[in-house]
Structure 1
Amino acid sequence: MTEASVAPPPAPRARLLSFAIGLAGGILGLLPWLVGGGILPLQNLWAVETMPDDMPFAMLPLSQYFATLLFSLVLLGGVFAGLAVHVVGRRRGIAAWPASVGVLLVHLIAVAQSFTILSDGLGIGRGGDTRATLYFAGMLGGVIVAMLFAQLGFWMISRPSVAVAALGVALAAVPFASWVSRWFLAVTGDAFPPPFLSDLGRWLPAVIVGAALVWCGVRPAARIAVWVVSLLALWVVPALFTAIQYGLGMRVLQGNVADMAEASAQLFPLALAEMWVPVVVALVIGVVGTVVRMVLERDRPDAAPEAERDDAVVGER
């Protein structure tokens, strides 16, 4: 690589822009929950009997009944920031790591605030129920995992490589549908969900994955692997979300982790058998869109193949 092909290090202003993108992405991920009021869901192990409207404010929906939503809100912060860095980075030199730090900072603040509230309400450290301590630790562990996935999603999507970025977008399609659905529930409330939300959650991921496949393309041929992984994820992740939420949401099991895991494992193959139609829809969108794109690019002699730009150095990574 010659010196001419190496982009100069971003200026401090570019790093500040990147950091602001990370902050904005992290906040945007949590926004549908915050707009809806951010009231902590009722807790089975709350130390003092409290009415739903009297529960305190929390930046995260800490509850086993909101597990998949919690994961989605945290994950999407990294996804949004990564997509913004990818788009901006293809036009100007921009460092990715300040945005990663910005996302992490938002998540750390949300975790500190929410788990302080949860700890106080559960009576942690005041000789309360030992189940409350296990519940607290389990929720904290789950949020940490979600934060790690948010960072993974950020670094995948922020990369200059379209193939890697498209794969990251496709993998986030199902959580994105959960995030969009939460916007409607922020207006209607959980007790009165709009009747179309189930269809939205079923078909929106298929559209997103199909669009990601069109963006990815099929040249070079190695990008077919992105198609395979994306379509497999569209098939497996919704079933996995359904099974996990089913196990965690069974109050009759009274927090028995082994029984919850068994219930989830029993439901997973049944849910998997129902999730294949959106995969076909995504494949059709991907194939038709890719053919149209190839025809349009063929008629543009000045259009450089996307793969030739994937190895370009985009700022300080």
Structure 2
Amino acid sequence: MLTRETTKTAAPFLLVGAGAALLALLPWLATGMRLPLQNLWAASTMPDDMPLVLLPFSQYALGFIVSVIITGSAIAGGIVRLLGSRVPRFGLAAALVGTLLVQVIALVQTAATVIGGLSRGGAATVYLVALVGGTLAAILLGVLVLLLIARAPAPGVAIALSIVAVAVGASMSGAVLPFGLVVFEAHDLARAAVQWIPAIGVGVAIAWSGFATVGRAVAAAGSLLLLWLGAAAFTAINAAAGTRVLAAYPAEMVEYAGQVFAAVLGSPRESVVQVAIAVVAMLVALVVFRVIRSRRSAEAPADAAGA
């Protein structure tokens, strides 16, 4: 039963969730929050005159939107997990509500602003529905990630962290490439640096979980599969959504996305290399974790003797 005392102790976790969601939005908020130029905007508008929005609705920023949503949910789940037994009853639920509150407000504010400026017609309707639907799907996936990180055993956390790693790669690409948080001359360097973040993140997540049980081994294989499929999916979605000539033809856009997805899966550089780097990152992380555990084991008897 929800008592006044329970409500008081759980209430701060509303702020935890809301703060996590806002933190993930910082890469976009730092750009000034100007809506990117829209191909289907009703009136000719200069970039600096576009309205302010909480999400960068654009066919060129789908991956970025998905990633900031999932990242916010992951941060909230991570805080809850780190606090462990100090989380009160309904604390997790409060953190989830706080996260969803910020994300839904961001979606509603952005969608309402875009509706007011888009031209009328079937293409604009399809465009808006796709952006809203994609954002809602990201919010739902974020709920799963938050719950897994906050409460699941190690295999579930490894899967969730792998989803986050793939998403964060897209988030960082979005932060430094389309929206200009780094100078133009640094774009090539930034692209080279961020393209391997998903693989490294997945490798570290697998190493953290380990292979001691069947469940952990299955989670490790699933994480590599997520990396392989997820990276290809982000590439395919961005390629199809960014093709202006297909904007009015949803069926053709989906077909093109499928073609790109299949091509990326079959490309050694885009898929096999990602998995190979994840395996290397996993091996390195395993060694690092083993050294850390060994040092802790050696320090524990010394601390006990000193006491």
Q: Which amino acid aligns with 2:53?
A: A
1:202-241 matched pairs, under 5 angstroms: 202-241=195-234
The alpha-carbon distance between structure 1 residues 263 and 191, as it changes in their structure 2 partners (threshold 3 A), is farther
The Cα shift of 1:150 comes to 1.1
Report SS of the residue matched to 2:204: helix
Match of 2:55 in 1: 60
The Cα shift of 1:224 comes to 0.2
Match of 1:114 in 2: 110
The runs of 5 or more residues in structure 1 that have no matched partner are 1-9, 304-317
| TM score, norm. by length of structure 1 | 0.83
Aligned-residue Cα RMSD (Å) equals: 2.4
For the 8 Å contact 2:10–2:88, the answer to whether it is kept is no
Confirm whether residue 199 of structure 1 aligns to residue 192 of structure 2: yes
The alpha-carbon distance between structure 1 residues 90 and 187, as it changes in their structure 2 partners (threshold 3 A), is farther
Of 142, 154, 157 in structure 1, the residue corresponding to residue 146 of structure 2 is 154
Q: Which amino acid aligns with 1:52?
A: P
Match of 1:82 in 2: 77
Identity percentage of aligned residues: 34
Of 4, 10, 14 in structure 2, the residue corresponding to residue 19 of structure 1 is 14
For the 8 Å contact 1:217–1:223, the answer to whether it is kept is yes
Q: For 1:71 and 1:24, how far apart are their aligned partners in 2? A: 18
For the 8 Å contact 1:29–1:73, the answer to whether it is kept is yes
The alpha-carbon distance between structure 1 residues 189 and 284, as it changes in their structure 2 partners (threshold 3 A), is closer
Of structures 1 and 2, the one with the larger relative CO (CA 8 A, separation 6+) is: 1
Residue-by-residue CA offset, 1:20-67 (whole Å, 9 max, x unaligned): 110011111211101111111111111111112211111011111211
The Cα shift of 1:283 comes to 1.5
Q: For 1:276 and 1:293, how far apart are their aligned partners in 2? A: 25
Q: For 2:215 and 2:181, how far apart are their aligned partners in 1? A: 45
Residue-by-residue CA offset, 1:157-181 (whole Å, 9 max, x unaligned): 1115222112201111121122233
Match of 1:289 in 2: 285
Q: For 1:193 and 1:71, how far apart are their aligned partners in 2? A: 24
Match of 1:172 in 2: 164
Q: Which has the higher helix share?
A: 2
Q: For 1:27 and 1:167, how far apart are their aligned partners in 2? A: 24
Q: Which amino acid aligns with 1:88?
A: L
Is 155-164 or 98-107 further displaced after alignment? 155-164
The alpha-carbon distance between structure 1 residues 298 and 220, as it changes in their structure 2 partners (threshold 3 A), is farther
Match of 2:128 in 1: 136
For the 8 Å contact 1:181–1:200, the answer to whether it is kept is no
Is 224-233 or 15-24 further displaced after alignment? 15-24
Moved over 3 A (4+): 10-14, 90-94, 181-193, 291-299
Residue-by-residue CA offset, 1:104-128 (whole Å, 9 max, x unaligned): 10011111211111111015xxxx3
Match of 1:3 in 2: none
Q: Which amino acid aligns with 2:118?
A: L
The alpha-carbon distance between structure 1 residues 40 and 106, as it changes in their structure 2 partners (threshold 3 A), is same
The alpha-carbon distance between structure 1 residues 219 and 138, as it changes in their structure 2 partners (threshold 3 A), is same
| TM score, norm. by length of structure 2 | 0.86
Match of 2:101 in 1: 105
Confirm whether residue 46 of structure 1 aligns to residue 41 of structure 2: yes
For the 8 Å contact 2:20–2:76, the answer to whether it is kept is yes
